[in-house]
Structure 1
Amino acid sequence: MLIGMTYDLKDDYLAAGYPLEAVAEFDSLITIDAIDDSLRLLGYETIRIGNIKALVAFLAQGNRCDLVFNIAEGLHGLCREAQIPALLDAYEIPYVFSDSHILAVTLHKGMTKAVVREQGVPTADYFVIHDEEEIERVDLPFPLFLKPVGGGTGMGISANSIVRDKIALSYVAKLLLAEFRQPVLVETYLDGREFTVGITGTREGARAIGVMEIVVDPSCDLGVYSYKTKQEYLDFAKYHLVGGEVALECEKVALSAWNALGCRDGGRIDVKMDSLGRVNFLEVNPLAGLNPVDSDLPILCRKAGISYHELITRIMDSALLRMGKARSRCIS
């Protein structure tokens, strides 16, 4: 089986002059090499294609592959994560991870919350600001938390994201609208413990592989899991596996959200407790980072005793099961 690999290489965009935060979600060669090595260890032939423009050229030249391992985040618009999957849909080429429709919905944090809330998954009250005129329409109790609706890797999140009055709300909302040129999500601030839940599988085959608590040093952005914190996590963040009733409740909320959204194969769900200790859905990452050293999902797996190769194997098994193919052969 020939597996194509699609991705956005961070160095290419930095060389083209893009600022570091704009390409924070993009991947390094370390990630590409690690995925490629695991796929080849499983016995697959691989071909590195690259970003969407490279994929367009690849397909236009008449090239095809049996399956695409897609981790491309895209660059422009709120459907950026869905662009490569949509193109592959048009060519009837199957791919790993969630489909184009799901990736379009889940990149918009407001739409994501609407879907999970409709399905009975607990999540904080929210409002989406589309322009400055809508700031006055926010009618939620302070404190509130603000972030771009389509950001990832902590983009647009800092100590200023927590606002405690209307003046701060207006200031931060206008700042985010201007800087990121997309709507702003306003949520009731949850001041409890924060967790991320790793998941592999699809629908009834989805399983939580671990629950990891994220503890941020309050000296960094007032303890917010921000862009700065994520970039400097070795200095400011600690990660701990949790068990017992807390883990079970986190898994319950995470799996309910995963299946309500229709996510596939592998990813992460972030959850957070409110002041009463109730677990709430925070957001989903259906294209979770796969850097073998720095990304949350591989970190969680290491702490749970799951190797990087086993993680890739489980993701591939889910994709192949959907395709009606034989499971991967792990020869680690």
Structure 2
Amino acid sequence: MLIGMTYDLKDDYLAAGYPAEAVAEFDNLVTIDAIDDSLRLLGYETIRIGNIKALVAFLAQGNRCDLVFNIAEGLHGLCREAQIPALLDAYEIPYVFSESHILALTLHKGMTKAVVREQGVPTPDYYVISDESEVGSVELPFPLFLKPVGGGTGMGISANSIVRDSLALSHVSKLLLEEYRQPVLVETYLEGREFTVGITGTRENARSTGVMEIVVDPSCDLGVYSYKTKQEYLEFAKYHLVGGDVASECEKVALAAWNALGCRDGGRIDVKMDGQLRVNFLEVNPLAGLNPVDSDLPILCRKAGISYHELITRILDSALLRVGKVKSQCVS
């Protein structure tokens, strides 16, 4: 079986002049090499294709592959993560991870919350601001938390994201609208503990790989898991695997959200406790980072005793099961 690999290589975009924050979600060669090594260890032939423009050229030349391992985030628009999957759909080439319409939905944090809430999954009250004139329509009690609806890797998140009065709400909303040119999610700020839940599998086969608490040093962005914190996680963030009733409740909420959204194969769900210690859905990452060293999902799995190779195998096996291919055999 020939597996194509699609991705956005961060260095290519930095060399082209894009700012670091704009390409923070993109991958480096460490990630590409690690995935490639795992796929080859499983006995598959691989071909590195690259970003969407490289994929277009690859397909236009008549090339095909049996499956695509897609981790491309895309660059333009709120459907950027869906672009390569949609193109592969058109060419009837199966791929790893969620379908194009799911990736388009889940990149918009407000729409994602609407879907999970409709399915009974608890999530903080929210409002989406698309224009400065809408700030006055926000009727949620303070404190509130603000972030771009389509950001990832902490994009647009800082100590200023926590707002405690109308003046700050107006000011921060204006800054985010102007800088990121996309709507702003305003939601009730939860003061409790924050966790991320790793998931592999699809529908009834979806399983948690573990629950990891994220504790941020309050000296960095007031303890917010921000862009800066994520870039300097060794200094400012601590990660702890949790178990017991807390983990069970986190997994319950995460798996309910995962299946409500129709996500596939592997990813992460972020959850947080409110003042009554109830676990709430925050957001989903259906294209979770797979850097073997510093991405949250591999860190979580490592703490849970799941090797990087086993993680890639579980993700791939979920995709192979969906498309009717023979499952791989994990070689530790």
> Could you say which TM-score interval applies, normalised by the shorter chain?
over 0.9
The equivalent residue for 1:208 is 208
Other structure's SS at 2:157 match? coil
Unpaired segments of 5 or more residues in structure 1?
Answer: none
1:8-47 maps to which residues of 2 (within 5 A)?
A: 8-47=8-47
> Matches of 2:329 and 2:250 in 1, distance apart?
31
Other structure's SS at 2:186 match? strand
> Matches of 1:75 and 1:263 in 2, distance apart?
21
> Matches of 2:331 and 2:276 in 1, distance apart?
46
> Matches of 1:88 and 1:276 in 2, distance apart?
45
> Matches of 2:67 and 2:139 in 1, distance apart?
47
1:92-111 maps to which residues of 2 (within 5 A)?
A: 92-111=92-111
- 1:89 partnered with 2:114: no
The equivalent residue for 1:151 is 151
The equivalent residue for 1:317 is 317
> Matches of 1:310 and 1:10 in 2, distance apart?
25
The equivalent residue for 2:126 is 126
> Matches of 2:316 and 2:52 in 1, distance apart?
22
Following TM superposition, by how much is the alpha carbon of 1:134 offset from its aligned partner in structure 2, in angstroms? 0.6
The equivalent residue for 2:292 is 292
- CA deviation digits over 1:219-252, x for unaligned, max 9? 0000000000000000000000000000000000
Other structure's SS at 2:329 match? coil
Sequence identity (%): 89
- TM-score, normalised on structure 2? 1.00
The equivalent residue for 2:172 is 172
Following TM superposition, by how much is the alpha carbon of 1:276 offset from its aligned partner in structure 2, in angstroms? 1.1
> Matches of 2:61 and 2:325 in 1, distance apart?
27
Other structure's SS at 2:240 match? strand
> Matches of 2:204 and 2:331 in 1, distance apart?
26
Q: Which amino acid aligns with 1:292?
A: P
The equivalent residue for 1:269 is 269
Other structure's SS at 1:114 match? helix
> Matches of 2:52 and 2:317 in 1, distance apart?
25
Other structure's SS at 1:329 match? coil
The equivalent residue for 1:112 is 112
- CA deviation digits over 1:176-232, x for unaligned, max 9? 000000000000000100000000000000000100000000000000000000000
Q: Which amino acid aligns with 1:73?
A: E
Q: Which amino acid aligns with 1:277?
A: L
Other structure's SS at 1:176 match? helix
Q: Which amino acid aligns with 1:172?
A: V
> Matches of 1:6 and 1:324 in 2, distance apart?
21
> Matches of 1:252 and 1:180 in 2, distance apart?
33
> Matches of 1:260 and 1:191 in 2, distance apart?
26
Q: Which amino acid aligns with 1:65?
A: C
Q: Which amino acid aligns with 1:272?
A: K
- CA deviation digits over 1:261-303, x for unaligned, max 9? 0000000000000011100000000000000000000000000
The equivalent residue for 2:249 is 249
Other structure's SS at 1:139 match? coil
Q: Which amino acid aligns with 2:273?
A: M
Other structure's SS at 2:176 match? helix
- CA deviation digits over 1:52-92, x for unaligned, max 9? 00000000000000000000000000000000000000000
The equivalent residue for 2:229 is 229
> Matches of 1:278 and 1:330 in 2, distance apart?
37
C-alpha RMSD of matched pairs (Å): 0.4
The equivalent residue for 1:52 is 52
Following TM superposition, by how much is the alpha carbon of 1:330 offset from its aligned partner in structure 2, in angstroms? 1.6
1:70-89 maps to which residues of 2 (within 5 A)?
A: 70-89=70-89
Following TM superposition, by how much is the alpha carbon of 1:326 offset from its aligned partner in structure 2, in angstroms? 1.1
Other structure's SS at 1:154 match? coil
Q: Which amino acid aligns with 1:82?
A: A
Following TM superposition, by how much is the alpha carbon of 1:331 offset from its aligned partner in structure 2, in angstroms? 2.1
